[in-house]
Amino acid sequence: MALFDGQHIVAEVVYRQSIHASYGGVIPEWASREHEVRLPLAVLQVLEKTHLTWKDLQVVAAAQGPGLIGSLLIGFTFARALAAAQGLPFIGVHHLQAHVASLELGEKPVVYPLLVLVATGGHTHLFRVAHPLEMELLGQTQDDAVGEAFDKVAAFLGLPYPGGPEIEKLAEKGLPSAVSFPMPRTARPWDFSFSGLKTAFIHARQRHMDLPTEDLCASWQHTVFTYLVQKLIQAAQAHRIPRIGLVGGVAANQYLRQLLTQAAAEAGLDLYLAPLPYCMDNAAMIAVAAWHRYLTGHYTPLTAAPFARE
Ligand code: KG4
Ligand code: ZN
């Protein structure tokens, strides 16, 4: 839950659900129940922190989709009810638009147009962003999302969910050049594919049982991110866009941030990285995206419904 004043996040309450850790992924039913319990408390806590009341609010926003429908229904319905009760406008925000808007929570003022890679557990989407409300999809994964590949590899190793940070921790202690993995290929130049790399990890593990898991993770992570970085740089050059951005849960990975920072500098591209606290799903990015719609009067009718897929 975040409270935004048009420029800054004034207060926020973040609750990360840990109940899914040992199950290899999010259990949708549990996620919904946790939302149901936490949401009313989070709203009250945010108001308490700021000494504001319902009367001080101007607009209420919530994620509309794509995402887990049970969780979306609870947040969306809660926010619509709040807006209706207070007579406030309501804005339903597109999940990916919000990830892109997380760049505006960084220190560097964002200049558009911008080429942005959204790298999460559900999406690996490349957008040309002309304005926070105007995004053109240039390419996307043809199978697993990059975060999903991390989660599946982690689950294969018996590590907790989410798998990305677990693989990153192991990779820090390993050798990125220990094993070489083949780079994926796609029919269209700006699409992605990760399921082959995921299978290659499993085969490599079975073939080199004596190889330290740290080396295997470091090599695999290196290949995945080299692939992402090369694509992003090439796409920016091909589209003649001098600025690139990286957002989403996977953007929290320090190794990826380093690789991209170096590659962008070498290519002479201006780089925007989502601030670390706003890489994984969060309310602040929903608020920033909603603010752009609020300014242009793009309200959402209270009869609108959340959606699971685009
Ligand atoms: O954006 P996000 O919180 O939720 C979705 O919209 O999906 O992204 C979650 C994904 C998970 O797959 C998680 O494993 C991955 O982001 N992730 C990471 C790291 N932190 C989170 N992947 C690689 N390295 C990380 N440090
Ligand atoms: Zn997300």
Distance CA 90, CA 302 (A): 7
Is residue 69 situated within a structural domain?
Answer: yes
Among protein residues, the one with the nearest Cα to ligand 1's atom 7 is 121
123 & 49 share domain:
no
- Which residues constitute the domain of residue 88? 2-99+280-296
State CA 211 to chain mean position distance.
Answer: 32
Whether 128 is covered by a domain: the verdict is yes
Asked if 30 and 122 sit in the same domain, the reply is no
- How many angstroms separate the CA atoms of 192 and 233, rounded? 14
Question: Which residue lies with its CA nearest to atom 8 of ligand 1?
Answer: 249
Q: What is the pLDDT of residues 225-253, one digit of tens each?
A: 999 999 999 999 999 999 999 999 999 99
Let me know if residue 26 belongs to a domain.
yes
The Cα–Cα gap between 46 and 58 comes to 15
Contact 46, 2 (CB under 8 A): yes
Q: Which residues surround ligand 2, an ion (CB under 5 A)?
A: 120, 281
Q: Are residues 78 and 38 in the same domain?
A: yes
What pLDDT sits at residue 13? 96
Spatial distance between the Cα atoms of 254 and 171, rounded to a whole number of angstroms = 11
pLDDT of amino acid 180:
95
Nearest ligand 1 atom, CA 123: 7
Q: How far is the CA of 96 from the centre of ligand 2 (A)?
A: 7
Backbone angles phi, psi at 108, to 5 degrees: -85, 125
The alpha helices in 173-282, defined as continuous H runs, are 195-207, 213-238, 254-267
Do 86 and 121 share a domain, yes or no?
no
Identify whether residues 83 and 177 lie together within a single domain: no
CB 179 within 8 A of CB 207: no
Ligand 1 center to 297 CA (angstroms): 32
Q: 141, 220, 250: which to mutate for ligand 1, most atoms within 8 A of CB?
A: 250
Cα of 281 from ligand 2 centre, angstroms: 5
The reported pLDDT for the residue numbered 106 is: 97
In a domain, 302, yes or no: no
Give a yes or no: residue 135 inside a domain.
yes
Q: Which ligand is closest to the CA of 162, given by its number?
A: 1
Please give the distance, rounded to the nearest whole angstrom, from the Cα atom of residue 1 to the centre of ligand 2: 15
Distance CA 230, CA 184 (A): 12
Pairing of strands 114-119, 124-131: antiparallel
Q: Render pLDDT for 270-294 as a digit per residue (tens, 0 to 9).
A: 999 999 999 999 999 999 999 999 9
> Which of 14, 95, 102, 150 for mutating ligand 1's site (highest number of atoms within 8 Å of CB)?
150
Task: Assess whether 39 and 75 both reside in one domain.
Answer: yes
Residue 181 counted as domain residue = yes
Cα dihedral 285, 287, 292, 296 in deg (nearest 10):
160
Name which of 122, 134, 217 is nearest 168 in CA terms. Answer: 217
Same domain, 127 and 258: yes
Regarding whether 206 and 171 lie in a shared domain, the answer is: yes
Q: Which long-range contacts (CB under 8 A, 24 or more apart) does 235-240 make?
A: 235/115, 235/126, 235/138, 235/139, 235/189, 235/190, 236/115, 236/267, 236/269, 237/267, 238/189, 239/115, 239/128, 239/138
Same domain, 226 and 111: yes
Q: How far is CA 239 from the centre of its chain?
A: 23
Q: Pocket around ligand 1: residues whose beta carbon is below 6 Å from it?
A: 120-122, 147-148, 150-151, 162-165, 168, 248-250, 252-253, 280-281
Q: What is the pLDDT of residue 209?
A: 92
13 CA distance to ligand 2 middle (Å): 17
CA distances (Å), origin 169, targets 64, 160, 177, 196, 209: 33, 12, 17, 23, 20
Residue 86 CB partners (closer than 8 Å, separation 6+): 54, 55, 57, 60
Residues 127 and 264 in one domain: yes
The pLDDT score that the predictor gives to residue 23 is 82
Q: What DSSP string runs through 35-94?
A: HHHHHHHHHHHHHHHHT--GGG---EEEEEESS-HHHHHHHHHHHHHHHHHHT--EEEEE
Residue 307, in any domain of the structure: no
- CATH number at 18 reads 3.30.420.40
pLDDT per residue rounded down to tens, the chain (310 residues): 999 999 999 999 999 888 888 887 889 999 999 999 999 999 999 999 999 998 999 999 999 999 999 999 999 999 999 999 999 999 999 999 999 999 999 999 999 999 999 999 999 999 999 999 999 999 999 999 999 999 999 999 999 999 999 999 999 999 999 999 999 999 999 999 999 999 999 999 999 999 999 999 999 999 999 999 999 999 999 999 999 999 999 999 999 999 999 999 999 999 999 999 999 999 999 999 999 999 999 999 999 999 999 8
Q: Give Cβ neighbours of residue 259 (< 8 Å, ≥ 6 apart).
A: 225, 226, 229
Q: Are residues 83 and 123 in the same domain?
A: no
Shortest-distance ligand to the CA of residue 121: 1
166 and 33, same structural domain?
Answer: no
pLDDT given at position 19? 83
Is 252 inside a domain boundary? yes
Q: Give the Cα separation of 258 and 303 in Å (integer).
A: 45
Q: Write down the pLDDT at residue 16.
A: 86
Domain count within the chain: 2
